[in-house]
Structures are given as structure tokens and as C-alpha cells.
A = this chain, B = another copy of it.
């Protein structure tokens, strides 16, 4: 059940509406907002709900202006990389994400946008934090280019607030999972594991399986984003996670319980980019946004597995 506290008079643009999070957010906002614009570089295959303005284009194109013009709030979900791809071409990653975001912010300033909501990364901006669960005030020393990019965009948002009077909220989200997530480029552990199981393939485990992450169900993240639209509290940057750590070994056990399938494991050496433990302290979002995650990991896994099974069945029928 998503938050439904926003005024329908808001005009909202979702940048990156065609992605995993974008599709969920569009669905949730479509019934609440009269003027909703959904922008993405690729809207092929998207179920285009009526009453929404769908705008396809590159972020550097003039169609961006069409998407944001007259909007009060812009929700910036666009990202071209993942923690593992960003490190492969740091300069290109910076250009595609930092420069594109600055272009978006400039267009927001020119179009009179009042607020930008940006989805940052609670799993990478802190690097290897000393304090666990990690609060927003912890030092930020990313160990991946992906983390630097997200942190830099956060810092620039504060400059746009000071210079151009655009308010902002940043959500440092932990490991999101849920229906519609595809396992690409090493992102989305749960999506990747479930897809392997469905395809009767072994699950690759980097390291000894003790790596611990904070998994948050997509509906809870959507609730957090919606809570930010009209928030007028003093803080602008929030951790969004379950506040609980789950090891890879524990995830596998939960997956076995949910699916009834015995997981085949393929052990691989640990990777440089993997922080040992990441758990977010989300008390600030609890307090200011009155946001609390609603979905347990067991329930979220079940829902995700149901979706992925249906998708595969559908794909198999089409192939046969």
C-alpha cells in the first residue's frame, strides 16, 4: 500500500520512468496526479497508461524540456550505470551521469521546477563505513566510481538549492528488490538469484557468503519517494532501507524456504567492489518522513518469486 498524501494539483515529471523503479512509481502516481509526465530514453514495451504524458528522448534533447516544463517536482531516477559497470569506464560514467544530471538541473532551473527528488545509493556513498547501522551523518568515502557519481550529484543539488532556489530531497536507498527488476550487470542480487533458480542454474557466490546487505522491497521505496514530494522538514538527505542486515547465506536459505528448491552454489573469489557489511540507519526517514518499511524480506521474496515465475512461464509459452 503506497503513501497517498500528495495533492493532486502537483505536476510531476519522472525522469527515467522506463526503469525498474520508474515503472513502479508511474503506476503508483498515475492514480493520484492529474499532470504526470513520464520521460525515458526508451519507452518501447512500456504499457502506456492513459492520462499520462509519455515522452521519449535523451536527457540532452529538447524533449526533456517538454517533460519538465511547468512541473513543480522532478523525480530523477535516470542512471546509466551500476557499481560494477561504472568502474570500467570512470570518465564515461561521470560524463553520462554527472554531466547529464547537471544538464537536467539547469533545465529545471530554467523551467521553474520547485523540487528535485534524487535516488542516490545508500550502499555505495559511505564506502566501508565504521558505524553500522550507518546514519546519514557518517563520512562518505566511496570505494567505487558509482558511489562517487551519486555523492557528487547530491553535493551539486545543494549548490542548485543555494544558487537557483530549487529545493531537493535525496534518498540513499539500500539494495532494492521486487517484481520488474531484471538481473543486469551484477545489480539486483535477489533478481539474479531467483532467475538462476528458475533456469535451473547454479548461483555464483563472491566470497564466503557472509557479505551482508540491507534489502528493501520496491513498494517501500516508492512510499519513501512519495513521502518526499511534499515534505517540509529540515533534513534533505535520507537513508532508505530495512535497517536490518541479511547475509548472502541467509538470503539463499530464505530463497530455499520460499521456492522449495535446493540452491546449487558456485563459489567465486571475493570482489574488490564489495563492502563487507552495509546496513542503513533509517531513523531520520522514520522521524521526518514518517516512513517505515512495511514488507518483510520473506513476503517480498515471495512476491518477487511469484512475478518471476509468471514472467518465465509467459516467455516459455511465447517461445513454444
Contacts and interface: CB of A to CB of B under 8 A. Distances in A.
A311 to B, nearest CB: 35
Interface stretch (A150-158, A203-211, A241-249): A150-158
B152 A148 contact: yes
Given A143-B162, A144-B159, A98 B94 contact: yes
A103 B90 CA distance: 9
Interface in A255-283: 272
The contact size tier of chain A is 20 to 34
Contacts of A155: 141-142, 148, 151-152
A145 B102 CA distance: 11
Contacts of A310: none
Contacts of A137: 139
Given A90-B102, A152-B152, 7 more contacts: A90-B156, A90-B159, A98-B152, A139-B139, A142-B158, A152-B155, A162-B272
State the majority secondary structure of interface residues on A. helix
Contacts of A90: 102, 105-106, 156, 159-160, 163
B142 A159 contact: yes
Contacts of A309: none
A223 to B, nearest CB: 28
Nearest first, the 9 A-B pairs at minimum CB distance are A91-B102, A148-B155, A152-B152, A145-B159, A87-B163, A148-B156, A94-B102, A91-B106, A90-B102
A95 interface: yes
A99 B91 contact: yes
How many copies of this chain? 2
27 contacts: A87-B163, A90-B102, A90-B105, A90-B106, A90-B163, A91-B99, A91-B106, A94-B99, A94-B156, A95-B99, A98-B152, A99-B99, A137-B139, A140-B140, A141-B158, A142-B155, A142-B158, A143-B158, A143-B162, A144-B159, A145-B156, A148-B152, A148-B155, A148-B156, A148-B159, A151-B152, A152-B152
Interface string A81-113: 000000100110011001100110110000000
A94 B105 CA distance: 13
A151 B151 CA distance: 10
A163 to B, nearest CB: 6
Contacts of A160: 90
A65 to B, nearest CB: 15
A82 to B, nearest CB: 15
A139 B158 CA distance: 14
A167 to B, nearest CB: 16
A95 to B, nearest CB: 6
A233 to B, nearest CB: 18
A145 B99 CA distance: 13
